[in-house]
Each structure stands twice: as structure tokens, then as C-alpha cells.
Amino acid sequence: MKKNVFFVSGIDTDAGKSYATGFLAREWNKNGRRTITQKFIQTGNVGHSEDIDLHRQLMEIPFTEEDKEGLTMPEIFSYPASPLLASRLDKRPIDFDKIKRATETLSERYDTVLLEGAGGLMVPLTEELLTIDYIAREQYPLIFVTSGKLGSINHTLLSFEAIQKRGIVLDTVLYNLYPTVEDKTIQEDTMNFIRQWLTKYFPQTQFMVVPEIQLPANGKES
């Protein structure tokens, strides 16, 4: 597989990963970098990924052939929970080989693959494997989504420590301005703090602001 797959994770379920993923894919495509998004494991859906739907709306493109083939949504579970619990309730294990094959196919067809995870870095996939462990095992560079909501500095710095401990390459931090707030005091201070922290401890990591995005009809944050 080409070294063109980036894993997208964040501080928690409501960090805005789906919006940030769709936004980044749109920007890279505009700049001539052919980018496709893939949902690592979708929970809370049946037969289709609502996060992929949202990506395409934000990217302003129709469903791709890869969407129709199921390559961008290889594993879907019906219950809205961690992949561990969702797979247990659906009474079937996660097929990691199927996911890997789909990612490899997308990697060959596109310049870049943005592989969006479920929930935050520490979400369990099995009783022995966390999302962050999967990222480290596959040696994917990480695009990390955070925001300026109250408490996000704590979640972000704890995540940075876990990333360093496992030797994961922190490629980019996406600072999501969702949800919209009238008092931007905390939001602006948090952004400045995280930027300074990255300059000191992750000097090679890029920092990008995800602007407030007009939500598509029936759009759902995740």
C-alpha cells in the first residue's frame, strides 16, 4: 500500500471529525490532490454510512463508484456505540482484513485517503485493541481534530501524550470552530494555547482551522 493514508481521529465523539474530514478532502481536491474519504467503522447505521453521506455533501460531489462498491464503508454496525459494543450486539466480529483490503484499494486509486475513525483515540475496537493501537500498528500518520469547547485543552493534551508514547506521527491538528458560540473567549484562548504547545513539542505538525460550516440538510455532527 502506498504511504498516502491518513487516519482522522479526535478528542471525542462530538469533536467534529466528519465535518473536518469532509472539509479537508474538499480543500485538497481543490488543490489538485485527488482525495477520497473512508469510514473506518460506522456504528449506528444499517447498510450505509451517514458519515460518508456528509463527507460527499461537504466535498460537493455525488457518491463515488467506491461508495457504491462499499469500499468507503467496509464495516457497518447497527447500534450507535463503540465498535466493540456495536459488534458484540450485532453478534459478529469486526473484519479488520476487509477494512485493510478496502483501504489498500482506495490507496491505489487516489492520491490520498482520509480514514475517519469512530469516536476518540481510546475507543475500544476489541477487548485488547484500542483505536490508537490500530493507528500505531498500521503506522498511519494522524490528523487530529479538536475544538474550543470547554474542557478540550485537557482532552487534547492527554491525547498528545498518548500519541507521543506510541510513536505516532502527528501530521496535522484541525481546530474545529463548530459548534458556533457567541462568546469566543475560550475558543480563541484554547486555539492560541494549542498552537503554542505544538510549536514547542510538535514543531513538524501542521495546524489548520476548520471554519464554521453551513450544515447540510439533515447533517449530523460526529
CATH assignment at residue 149:
3.40.50.300
The answer as to whether 38 is a domain residue is yes
Instruction: Please give the pLDDT value at position 218.
Output: 52
From CA 75, how far away is CA 92, in angstroms rounded? 11
Query: Where in the sequence is the domain holding 140, given as residue range(s)?
Result: 7-109+118-210
The answer as to whether 152 is a domain residue is yes
The answer as to whether 79 is a domain residue is yes
Instruction: Please give the pLDDT value at position 167.
Output: 98
Instruction: Please give the pLDDT value at position 216.
Output: 53
From CA 10, how far away is CA 134, in angstroms rounded? 15
Residues 6+ apart with CB under 8 A from 142: 6, 7, 8, 9, 135, 163, 168, 169, 170, 171
The answer as to whether 85 is a domain residue is yes
**Residue 142 · residue 152 · CB < 8 Å:** no
The answer as to whether 201 is a domain residue is yes
Instruction: Please give the pLDDT value at position 217.
Output: 58
The answer as to whether 23 is a domain residue is yes
Residues constituting the chain: 222
When divided into structural domains, the chain yields a total of 1
Q: 151 in the Ramachandran plot: left (φ > 0), alpha (ψ -120 to 50) or beta?
A: left
DSSP state of 180: P
Instruction: Please give the pLDDT value at position 60.
Output: 94
The pLDDT tens digits along the chain (222 residues) read 789 999 999 998 878 999 999 999 999 999 999 999 999 999 999 999 999 999 999 999 999 999 999 999 999 999 999 999 999 999 999 999 999 999 999 999 999 999 999 999 999 999 999 999 999 999 999 999 999 988 899 999 999 999 999 999 999 999 999 777 788 999 999 999 999 999 999 999 999 999 987 765 554 445
The answer as to whether 221 is a domain residue is no
Q: 76-77 and 142-147: which strand pairing?
A: unpaired
Q: Find the catalytic residue in 30, 39, 91, 184.
A: 39
pTM: 0.95
From CA 47, how far away is CA 44, in angstroms rounded? 10
Catalytic (active site) residue 39:
yes
Q: Identify the sign of the CA torsion 175, 28, 75, 53.
A: positive
The answer as to whether 1 is a domain residue is no
Instruction: Please give the pLDDT value at position 34.
Output: 98
